Amino acid sequence: MKRITIREVCDKYDISQDTLRYYERVGVIPQVNRTSGGIRDYKQQDLDWIENAVCMRNAGVSIETIIEYVGLFLEGDATINARLRLLEDELEQLNSKREQLDQAISKLKFKVSRYKIAAETGILSWEENLNESVND
């Protein structure tokens, strides 16, 4: 199997080499095995951890939470319930953020639609949406 370089890993997951090294140093991903020459030797398991870290960070999960999750995972099956609670808490927070984003998107879509009409007619009106409380 061809050795995967740090550059290839970073390109694949669209992160910098500094970020990847940081993730390993602080425990966002487990330590990557190295060759006798000290070069990181990425295996599929390492790539899976990196993909998980990137996904979680993109979702807004904190570095500290990811480190906690990885630590629990490395402790073994005795931590399954703790990992489950951690992931459930994060999912709840993400769902709350999504609801807030959905509300903001809905409001912005309405405003854009009103401004499009105003651009065509020269009249800015908010009257068609009875739920709209801000008139600007």
Rounded Cα distance between 87 and 60, Å, is: 13
Distance of alpha carbon 94 from alpha carbon 10, whole angstroms: 26
2-55 pLDDT, tens digit each: 788 899 999 999 999 999 999 999 999 999 999 899 899 999 999 999 999 999
Nearest-angstrom CA–CA distance, 99 and 108: 14
Among positive and negative, which fits the CA dihedral 20, 22, 25, 26?
negative
Q: Look at the pTM and tell me if it is higher than 0.85.
A: no
- In eight-state DSSP terms, residue 77 is G
Chain segment 67-108, per-residue pLDDT in tens: 999 999 999 999 999 999 999 999 999 999 999 999 999 999
**Count of C-beta atoms within a 10 Å radius of residue 135:** 9
